[in-house]
Structure 1
Amino acid sequence: MPEFKTYSPVFDPSTNNGLDFKVFVYELPDEFHVELKRQQKRCISDQYGTEIRIHEDLLKSPLRTLDPEEAEFFYVPWYGECFLFREEKRDHKNAISTTNKWFIRAVNFVKQEYPYFNRTLGRDHVFVFPGARGPHIFRDWKRHIRKSIFMTPEGDRSLGEQFNTWKDVIIPGLEADVELTSGKTRELDGERNQLAFFRGTIWNRGGSSYSRGIRIKMADALKGVTDVTFGEAEKSCDRACYRREMRRSVYCLCPRGWSPWTLRAYSAMMAGCIPVLLADEIEFPYENFLNWNALTVKIPEAQAEDVVQILRSIPQSVVEQKQAAIARVWKMVTWKHPAEPGDAFHTVMADLGLKRRLMKASTYTFWDHDHVKRSS
């Protein structure tokens, strides 16, 4: 039986070692962050709320420096998904173009009010794009911030320039349900007497193009399987019911939607349920130091209709190994509030720290830092 290692000695989430760099957080006008949070309460608890959470956690973190000259990273706090959500309601037709202008104003502010972006062409600057479209909600991102570091939940390498595994950081989406993030759901008594569970959109107006038709195929294949729940959301099953169904299931099915990434995998881990991934191009957070094979089951999209047979063939000893592995690391994908050692914020920062060596190897960084020191 193979040994299921969950992470390497590169980073120990129980100690947060390696977090010895400094981040300068820009002071942008309120229109780019706090005003949006105040106007759009939904943004705080939405799965894209990481753009708010990371900003607020950084402001309280010892990683933050008020001296930009000692910073190794520069964080630009903008709530782009929140702004776009507001504009979609105000003027759907022009929402993207209005959002694009808003992004450009923010970038121009950073470039004109501070000297730090220009000295590295933005290579040490960090931007959060918490939605599946990543930086594409900023239509002109390639012209303005192409070399910068993006924090995004979408690690789909098939999308080309949207995500670059060498410079960008994949982040977990925000699960705001306190019953899950506190660990209370996973601690509930009871056996896991259901094989697998899924509730969500199956029949989308996009037809078979949605989820590449995978969810529709699975719904047909799983009809009549008594120990599997696979259906759309129901009024009879509220949020508490949803959590209970995860808690009593061995596996939580995570088929792709419009894109590969899914919040379901992280919510499942918080409930102690093994995520079953059906998204061929997906890349997860922390793949530099976290072994996702020990935590999940990945099934090729082409075998979606065989999911039950595949899951039933997994030995109980392997199931128990995966459950134990999840129990050790589930906090790494959980945005605790307030942030605490070993949670998603600290682990994302650890992943960011691994990019530091790449930044230091940048010709731009060396030349410009030396130039600043010589001329000061």
Structure 2
Amino acid sequence: NPDPNPHCMCFKGRLGHDCSMPQDELCPNKCLDRGTCHRGFCHCRPPYFGLDCSRQHAWQLAPGAVHVPNRARLRIYMYDLPSHIAFPVAMDDDITESVFNFYHTYRVFLEMLSVDEVVRTENPWEANLFYVPAQAYSYSSNTNSPANQIMRAISYVRDTYPWFNASGGRDHFVWTTGDRGSCYLPEESYGDLHKRSKFCLAPHGAGFGIRLTIAMAHACVPVIIQDNVWQPYESDGLLPYHEFSLRLGKADIPHLVPILRSVSEARLAELRLAMARHF
């Protein structure tokens, strides 16, 4: 049947009945009123430049000078990556990453850091931390691996600027706001991390989530933190979760490390044997 109320499905960056309205919130900090927003890209007026038109200075070491990071207070330098390396690319029609607020924290951080004159520095030679805005969520969404995009951004930074190589990347950081965070990154596989772990967190997802079965498949005792959520077959009495898992509440999270350290090796063995019986 034809749609009784036809409407336009607008490309990312446009809104309205006929897609004539710009979606300025796609641009970080709405370009700080120093430029115009075009589908997520700030066209800055001189002398401003940068992702949100927040920059107006560039720095270079004087001849014979050496790189000395600030030791008195936190100073973070944020790279300006070109659009072919990292950009909030278009997703489905009329759908943007800003719809999912809990996946949007990297954007909130970027916008807050950008206007923080106390912490942010435009001078990379005084920085003691470096932020790589890889925009990984735009490329991978919440469940796919962000590894390719993050490594692409890091490779560009490593090959273009001197600061990554100076520390081996130890003072560089990125945001990974998908469901599995940095578990996809190549330092260690998700499965290997589970295999060598004694306890694995099982917070809820859309309901009880998938993390419980992933933990059990790797002989890792699930630490279920899901207040007021029944686990599969728990209400029927088919699975005695108290025999093979730890049940904690959100209020226990601040004390999570000492709680887990207090579990004896004998108790851990009991939990794993019971888990094997029911998996």
Same fold (TM over 0.5): no
Q: Write 1 or 2 for the structure with the bigger share of helix.
A: 1
| Larger RCO, structures 1/2 (Cα 8 Å, 6+ apart) | 1
> TM-score under structure 1 normalisation?
0.34
- For the pair shown, the structure with the greater C-alpha radius of gyration is 2
> TM-score under structure 2 normalisation?
0.44
